[in-house]
Chains A and B, each alone.
Chain A
Amino acid sequence: GAGVSQSPRYKVAKRGQDVALRCDPISGHVSLFWYQQALGQGPEFLTYFQNEAQLDKSGLPSDRFFAERPEGSVSTLKIQRTQQEDSAVYLCASSRRWSGGNEQFFGPGTRLTVL
């Protein structure tokens, strides 16, 4: 079956612009995660949804970052008034929720460059 898909794959924004990044999780996966990966670093957690509920947003770096998953499927990560330090790869992952596990499957990422 299809994996996690993300769009756009690449986004160039001028400083101060708003951007929206989309994630389509694996069908039937209840949990959805957003991570930010800086160059040469491991992914860092941003936020987590279970169905449409945002259960953890402790990793969002500022109030310019906002995520939603209104129908419990597709999710959008929005960054307002982008800054150069927002340049990174934004990764989405999804997982089945079951009592004992946490296998997360990642999409290809959106590479954001803020000029």
Chain B
Amino acid sequence: QKEVEQDPGPLSVPEGAIVSLNCTYSNSAFQYFMWYRQYSRKGPELLMYTYSSGNKEDGRFTAQVDKSSKYISLFIRDSQPSDSATYLCAMSQGNEKLTFGTGTRLTIIP
């Protein structure tokens, strides 16, 4: 079983909908949690970065971390076609390697 589990999708939602993406993990030592967006044939782009449990909001994006459940989420409000991409969750114990989920492919339908 992988340390980080993420539903690969694909996930298709209509424009304007709220999107919910999530990951579960097994390593309780993870302290830093990230969401990356990756467009086709591009490198991952850092979207959200959180430390320990709690919520963080940035524009249309909200990241939630529940360390007691080992569960993290990313919410996208008012989804746009330009949000169509693969979303990767990633986490680490500290200043070293990231452990990624498989990525969820998201399509926003105009």
Chain A residues packing against B (C-beta within 8 Å): 4, 31, 33, 35, 40-45, 48, 55-56, 59, 91, 93, 95, 97-98, 100-109, 111
Contact B32 A101 (CB under 8 A): yes
16 example contacts (A-B, Cβ-Cβ < 8 A) are as follows A31-B95, A40-B8, A42-B4, A42-B101, A43-B44, A44-B100, A45-B97, A45-B98, A45-B99, A55-B96, A91-B44, A103-B46, A103-B49, A104-B46, A108-B43, A109-B42
A22 CB, min distance to chain B CBs, angstroms: 15
Contact A100 B51 (CB under 8 A): yes
Identify the closest chain A residue to B89 (Cβ).
A42
- Cβ–Cβ < 8 Å partners of B36 in chain A: 106
Q: Which residues of B contact A102 (CB under 8 A)?
A: 32, 92, 94-96, 98
CB nearest to B42 among chain A residues: A108
For the complex of A and B, the 6 pairs showing the least CB-CB separation, nearest first, are A42-B100, A106-B43, A45-B97, A108-B43, A106-B44, A102-B92
Size range of the chain B interface in the assembly: 20 to 34
- How many pairs of residues, A versus B, come closer than 8 Å at their CB atoms? 67
B106 vs chain A, min Cβ distance (A): 14
In the complex, chain B residues whose CB is within 8 Å of the CB of A91: 43-44
A100 to B, closest residue via Cβ: B51
What residues of chain B lie closer than 8 Å to A111, measured between beta carbons? Answer: 41
B45 at the interface (CB under 8 A from A): yes
Chain B positions near chain A (C-beta within 8 angstroms) = 4, 6, 8, 32, 34, 36, 41-46, 49, 51, 88, 90, 92, 94-103
Residues of B within 8 A of A97 (CB): 95
Distance from B7 Cβ to chain A, minimum over Cβ atoms (Å): 12
Nearest residue in B to A43 (C-beta to C-beta)? Answer: B100
Residues of A within 8 A of B90 (CB): 42
Which chain A residue has the least Cβ–Cβ distance from B43? A106
Tell me if A109 and B43 are in contact (CB < 8 A): yes
Which chain A residue has the least Cβ–Cβ distance from B4? Answer: A42
Q: Which residues of A contact B43 (CB under 8 A)?
A: 4, 91, 106-109
Residues of B within 8 A of A105 (CB): 46
- Closest partner residue, chain B, to A34 (CB atom): B97
Other contacts beyond A33-B98, A101-B51, A104-B98: 4, CB < 8 A: A4-B43, A42-B90, A102-B92, A107-B43
